[in-house]
Amino acid sequence: MDEDRKKYKIFAEDKKFYLGRIAVSDGRFSSVDLERELGDEELFSGEEDFLLPGLIDIHFHGCLGKDFCDGTREAVSTLAKYEAEHGITGICPATLTLPVEELEKVLGLARTYRDEGLKIGEARLLGINMEGPFISPVKKGAQNPNYILKWDDRIANRFLEASGGLVKYMGIAPEENPAFKDFIPKMQGKVRISLAHTNADFQTAVEAYRAGASHAVHLFNAMTGLDHRNPGVVGATMEQKEVFAELIADGVHVHPMMVRLAFTVLGEDRVILISDSLRSTGMPDGLYDLGGQEVEKKGKHCRLTSNGALAGSVSNVYDCLCTAVKEMGIPLRKAVTAASLNPARSLGVDQDYGSITVGKVADYLIVDKDLKQKAVYQAGKILPIF
């Protein structure tokens, strides 16, 4: 048993912070001794460090010059190492809109990587988020329009089979796939259907959610917005109480006021912070490939050179968490919930990940009161990166 007698400000299962101690045995928390709850005014006072659960990013594409859809072992390993080094110990990378055969290759490689088991120093591959290809050409954003498809049951099941069950989310634009009331119920228990890159009006989005869709891809981005006469996909997402919504809090994609609005209206249990990071993350300014399209990175912005459309981010979920807290006024407790417990719940792995709780896997971070990371642990073992 590895027992840490230091006291920490611990993020517990009830989404509150407590002063306490932990012990780890066989890679899991064997003891979590919580002495007393900490009020918001106490969180950033005192000398104790924070002990946070390892974060989970359920939507990102790449970093350090690599993209998940490169379809190589090197690319997946590069992504997994980068994420772990930044406190993201669980990952669910996103695919691009590409030819079916190419996507099957990417999914098959990910399945092989998953089957090899945990590699200390590389984030756990918990799933795959298929952002395309069943999306809208009107709201394609930075997705390649050449490979957009109408929904096809056979193709969808080919993706699920190729991944060996790793595909956890499959995006659709319901207005482009009017048979959604038939096929969404058939996918229940196989994969979460999300609304992604969609030009749907409010009523169509509501009907898709009522048919069983349960997830919204990067809320506010690449979807119909919140208007007082047509609440759009954003309004439908806010109204449906069982729907999780991804949110990019990098300070570029969504205005701070709208981030605060999302947390207020959806509540702390439905927001999932994501990065939507591209291969240009961690790289110098310049030109990069995104699914066969050219993207230019300038500082924190990535845009298609063809039309100036905003592409993904150059951030990571831990940086998004810090931005949400320090620059957008989101309480630390809510931001941590949105970057750890909520994605774990959405993926269906919260029995093992997402909070500091006896029996859960000991993936966690040590962070000082300025939110600077001091250590990252996987299965109770410290990563040699600090």
The CA-based angle 327-339-48, given to 5 degrees, is 75
pLDDT of residue 1: 54
Catalytic residue among 67, 250, 276, 350: 276
pLDDT of residue 194: 98
User: What average pLDDT does this structure show over 366-377?
Assistant: 96
pTM above 0.85, yes or no: yes
- The answer to whether 215 is a known ligand-binding residue is no
User: What average pLDDT does this structure show over 156-162?
Assistant: 98
Pairwise CA distance, residues 88 & 221, whole Å: 23
Q: How far is CA 328 from CA 251, 257, 321, in A?
A: 8, 7, 10
- Percent of the chain at pLDDT > 90 equals 92
Q: How far is CA 150 from CA 107, 201, 328, in A?
A: 20, 18, 38
- The answer to whether 74 is a known ligand-binding residue is no
User: What average pLDDT does this structure show over 277-301?
Assistant: 94
- The answer to whether 379 is a known ligand-binding residue is no
pLDDT tens column, 306-332:
999 888 899 999 999 999 999 999 999
pLDDT of residue 118: 84
Domain ranges of the chain: 2-52+366-382, 55-353
User: What average pLDDT does this structure show over 353-380?
Assistant: 97
pLDDT of residue 4: 62
The pLDDT of residue 191 is above 60: yes
Pairing of strands 301-304, 293-298: antiparallel
The pLDDT of residue 245 is above 80: yes
- pLDDT-derived band at 3 (thresholds 50, 70, 90) equals low
- The answer to whether 142 is a known ligand-binding residue is yes
| Sheet strands (E) in 77-118 | 88-91, 94-95
The pLDDT of residue 55 is above 70: yes
- The answer to whether 75 is a known ligand-binding residue is no
pLDDT tens column, 328-366:
999 999 999 999 999 999 999 999 999 999 999 999 999
pLDDT of residue 122: 96
User: What average pLDDT does this structure show over 3-23?
Assistant: 92
- The answer to whether 339 is a known ligand-binding residue is no
Pairwise CA distance, residues 289 & 259, whole Å: 29
- The answer to whether 311 is a known ligand-binding residue is yes
- pLDDT-derived band at 275 (thresholds 50, 70, 90) equals very high
Q: What's the chain's average pLDDT? A: 96
Q: Whose CA is closest to 83, among 322, 370, 326, 281?
A: 281
User: What average pLDDT does this structure show over 200-210?
Assistant: 98
In terms of pLDDT, which residue wins out, 141 or 386?
A: 141
pLDDT tens column, 87-112:
999 999 999 999 999 999 999 999 99
Q: The tokens of 42 are what? A: 């106490």
- The answer to whether 21 is a known ligand-binding residue is no
- pLDDT-derived band at 385 (thresholds 50, 70, 90) equals confident
- The answer to whether 342 is a known ligand-binding residue is no
- pLDDT-derived band at 75 (thresholds 50, 70, 90) equals very high
Q: Is 276 a catalytic residue?
A: yes
Backbone angles phi, psi at 333, to 5 degrees: -60, -45
CATH 3.30.300.30 fits 55-353, yes or no: no
